[in-house]
A and B are shown apart, each in its own frame.
Chain A
Amino acid sequence: MIAVDKNRPSPEWIESLRRRYPCEKEMDRVFTRKLLRRAGPGYSPVSLQTLCDSLQNLLKTQLDAPFEIREPRWLTGGASKIQMAFKLDWSQPGVGRSLTPMVVRMEPAESIVETSRLREYQIIKGVSEILPVPPVFWLDEHGKFFPYPAIVYGFAEGVTKPTSGVANVSGIGLNFGPALRKPLGKQYVEHLAKLHTWDWSKADLSAFDVPALGTQAIEWHLNWWERVWEEDSNFDIPLLRLAALWLRDNMPSIDRISLIHGDYRAGNFLFTEHDQRISAWLDWELGYLGDFHSDVAYTTLPYLSHYAEDGKTLLASGLMPVEEIYEAYEKASGLTINQKTIDYYHIFQAYRSGVIIIATSYRPARNGKTHQDLLLAWIMGLGYSSNGYLRDKLEEVA
């Protein structure tokens, strides 16, 4: 038995986790890197000047013509990455001299979700064929130019919540109001259907391992989250162990592989208020190849919902009643939802929420690894209602 200090993980322990929970190659690299760096320094504030200097160095390797970085400023939003908006005065290929609004999205020292910038870059490049997403321009995969790995995006117009609205942190429990629900809800479901029926095989997704039909995708994914639980949790929770065992025993088989967003919910898309259009889908870092039920189940989780004005109708992701989402999704995608598989993925998603919110929110905050430790400490409070839902769902299927 290896004595474990999770704040200073030993090479032996890291290797034991890699063997015990085999994941996709790129995710294995990301998790291993996280643990190897864990005992290192916490996150120190990075100035706008530092980010601009890093950006300047990156762009010098990418652009031949003169350019200028203008109007840098911080962006808030999201608990996982650091974001700086700026304008680039440059000779844009095919366009000419332009002033283009852009965003740098950079990792902190350790994040509430440790993911791959390369996967994020590839997935957004790919889905730009079918969905509104911010254009991605450049990637600093290993933090060669920036203090940590980063992506440079085009700035997408829009807001995550009505300018007059109220929401909890990270868009959870976001209330769009009655007038916006219908137009946004329709696009919300249509976009999900488009994503899941898209032929991803022609896109460059080299950072993704393609699972075989059957149960390989969910098996890799269970390995992913069980490994993260082992790496990050501060104490054990028998309920989560019970859930993991149940999920292993009941893995559903798939006969098609879809590209999964992984965090498809209110708060992760932008919309323009004047025309009520979804203008950009964000936060693709949890994307993977797997079962479409996974996203459909996630977006209908009750703890990501709120009640309508009547106090009775639960609105999934603040947009539509659950049954309406299922119906509209089947109509738009031509795919048939299996309720038993939705039940499975509701349990899976609640388990994953527990891992992220209780284990991974804790560990970086404990070690001062992010720019938003206080937000992570706050988000931990959601873990108990997601665990409550997990428990009730396990009781239903027991």
Chain B
Amino acid sequence: MEVRPEIQIRAMIKAMVDVVLPAVDPEQKMAQEQARLVIGTLGLIASRLPVAYRFDRDQLDRYVSLSHELVALDKADGGGQTVSKLESLAERGADVLQRARAEPSELESTVFDLRAEVSSLLQSLHKSSSPEKWNKVNRLILDASKMEIDRERALVVAMGFEPKPGSIPPIESLLPQVNG
């Protein structure tokens, strides 16, 4: 999937700086100010996006730690009745933290590595395979591609390139369901 926010935001900023802002009437002070705020906000989003996930995970880590310490402190002098909800939430937080280990960038780079290696193997197999084996490889790639393309088309259907957009299912229905 190439239509990624990093590229889109960068291109939006460039369009605003190079084209839109110079065309805004200097006498329209509010429009000038709003255009500059749009550029600034987009710049902020672009710079924060790569660390947003790590920021949230770090935040969760700190709150889990704080909660554990508070619960331990309360229990140490015979309390504990009032912190059961916090204790349970801290356990849930620790579980989420345990599952949220990989960085989004790591996820992306691993997908890219796998894509490259699958493609490389494909080219080797094309040279070395019997027709029967190659047919099976072909089938695997076509089936996997269908799943991939169905999701990609659903993701960008609002861009208006589909001749029959009504036939494209919502992206949410094609992705694994998650809690929360």
A interface residues with partner B (beta carbon < 8 Å): 44-45, 168, 172-173, 234-239, 241-242, 245, 302-303, 305-307, 314, 358, 361-362, 365-366, 368, 371, 373-374, 376-378, 380-385, 387-388, 391, 394-395, 398
Whether A381 contacts B3 by the Cβ 8 Å rule is yes
Closest approach, in angstroms, between the C-beta of A244 and any C-beta of chain B? 9
Return chain B residues, CB-CB under 8 Å to A45.
Answer: 18-19, 22
Interface-centre pick from A361, A368, A385 (highest chain B CB count, 10 A) = A385
Whether A241 contacts B122 by the Cβ 8 Å rule is yes
Return chain A residues, CB-CB under 8 Å to B118.
Answer: 236, 238
Bound complex: CA of A383 vs CA of B2, how far in Å?
A: 9
Bound complex: CA of A204 vs CA of B153, how far in Å?
A: 44
B interface residues with partner A (beta carbon < 8 Å): 2-3, 7-8, 10-12, 14-15, 18-19, 22, 111-112, 115-116, 118-119, 122-123, 126, 135, 138-139, 141-142, 144-146, 148-150, 152-153, 155-156, 159-164
Q: Which of B12, B119, B126, B156 contacts A236 (CB 8 A)?
A: B119
Bound complex: CA of A184 vs CA of B85, how far in Å?
A: 72
Contact count A vs B, C-beta below 8 Å: 119
Whether A302 contacts B163 by the Cβ 8 Å rule is yes
Bound complex: CA of A143 vs CA of B149, how far in Å?
A: 40
Return chain B residues, CB-CB under 8 Å to A236.
Answer: 112, 115-116, 118-119
Contacts A238-B115, A377-B8: A368 and B142 contacting too (C-beta < 8 A)? Answer: no
* B interface: dominant SS: helix
Whether A381 contacts B161 by the Cβ 8 Å rule is yes
Whether A398 contacts B138 by the Cβ 8 Å rule is yes
Whether B18 contacts A239 by the Cβ 8 Å rule is no
Return chain B residues, CB-CB under 8 Å to A380.
Answer: 2-3
Give me the 10 closest cross-chain CB pairs, A-B, nearest first: A381-B159, A373-B11, A384-B152, A381-B156, A239-B145, A374-B11, A236-B119, A236-B115, A374-B15, A377-B11
Contacts A238-B118, A238-B122, A391-B149: A371 and B144 contacting too (C-beta < 8 A)? Answer: no
Return chain A residues, CB-CB under 8 Å to B12.
Answer: 374
Return chain B residues, CB-CB under 8 Å to A245.
Answer: 122-123, 126
Bound complex: CA of A105 vs CA of B10, how far in Å?
A: 25
Bound complex: CA of A378 vs CA of B4, how far in Å?
A: 10
